[in-house]
Amino acid sequence: MKRTTKMRLVRQAKERVFARVRGIRLAQHAYARVRRAAYERRVRRFVSERTGRGDRLPVGIVYEATMRCNLHCEFCYVGDLLNIEGEWRQELTLDSLRRAFPDGAGLQVSLTGGEVFMRKDIMDVLELFREKGYSCGYLTTNGTIIDEARADALAALARRGFLKHVSVSIDGPPELHDRARGLKGTFERTAAGLRRLQEAARRSGAPLRVSINTTVAHESLDELDRMVDVAEELGVDAIGLNHLMYSTPEEVAETVRMIGARDASVIATFVTPDPGITPDQVRQKVSALEAKCRTKGLRFGSFGSKSATWRRNRSKRSGTVTSTSSCAGGCWSSGCSRCAGAAARWS
């Protein structure tokens, strides 16, 4: 009994020390660089050895915790799959998750949706992953239903070394954000949830990074650099972009031929001959945003794929194939013409 108590006290002491260190901005930047360097070493080794053998897989998992959402974003790549009666009820139960995910430290799990906080037992899901020895790399949310209790619970998970980062989706200044999200007043609700998170982290001394991410879209492109103003207003020091991804009809036809499928129904991606936006336009605007971020001392990067383009035709929702396995793994190629985060790096 005494040995168990001593080990628990030692573990708690370590958690407190690590929490203080993780709360230091310089330490956060240094840790990000270390992780990036380690990833690049793994890639170089894989390429140079030419054995076809990689490191232990998976290194990380992105778990779509729910297909429920309280908003109706025109650009959402899963928009047509959200809130379908019967479908969202098939969420994996806690017992199923416990059996489906292996035990063992070192695995990183990140959560998205839908809106993750529409799932009533989401905090239990996070605690389950923590008990398995995982860390949570990021959690994405629209922020509208983060109350004080949830903010405090998330800060507590960050203090314990589990939760690293919460990314709150904001698509621009209030009027633009509300229009994109399909509901007036959404910006204010999102901002309130974000501030609750910030305050909970400050109050508890939790090393929780809270950033905002925006979706590059046709209507928002010209105002992309105004995200810096939004970040400053909210007291956020990091801005992320979601990848712009799509396929042309010709590319879909070629893919169907290559995989020997009967038809294109097996391909879940946004298909258009004209996305309403060109790679050069995106690259120019993203570069301008990156430059403004540097001027203001904000970190800037790309988090993963989320949308294609927010079209003027509101009768049709557009979506994209998710590609987190490659993009979230560190694809920063400046030659990628369809990535809104092309040539972007954390500054």
Check whether 324 has a pLDDT greater than 80: no
What tokens were used for 81? 């799959």
Which range, 55-59, 178-182, 264-268, 323-327, has the best average confidence (pLDDT)?
A: 178-182
Q: Interior CA angle at 41 toward 39 and 45, to 5°? A: 120
Most confident of 48-52, 98-102, 141-145: 141-145
Closest CA relative to residue 123, chosen from 87, 163, 76 = 163
pTM of the model: 0.74
Give the whole-number percent of the chain exceeding pLDDT 70.
Answer: 73
Selection from 72-76, 139-143, 307-311 with the highest mean pLDDT: 139-143
Most confident of 145-149, 215-219, 246-250: 145-149
Which residues, 6+ apart, have CB-to-CB distance to 226 below 8 Å? 172, 173
Kindly report which listed range (115-119, 144-148, 259-263, 270-274) carries the lowest average pLDDT score: 270-274
Is residue 31 within 8 A of residue 37, CB to CB? The reply is no
pLDDT at 303: 46
The whole-angstrom separation of Cα 140 and Cα 155 is: 15
Distance CA 343, CA 347 (A): 12
**Architecture of the domain whose range is 58-327:** Alpha-Beta Horseshoe (3.80)
For residues 284 and 270, which has the higher predicted lDDT (pLDDT)?
284
Higher pLDDT, 125 or 265: 125
Domain edges within the chain: 1-49, 58-327
Q: Measuring CA to CA, how many Å separate 222 from each of 28, 216, 285, 286?
A: 32, 10, 7, 10
3-state secondary structure of 102: coil
What is the amino acid identity at position 18? F
Residue range 70-93: mean pLDDT, rounded: 74
| pLDDT for 292 | 96
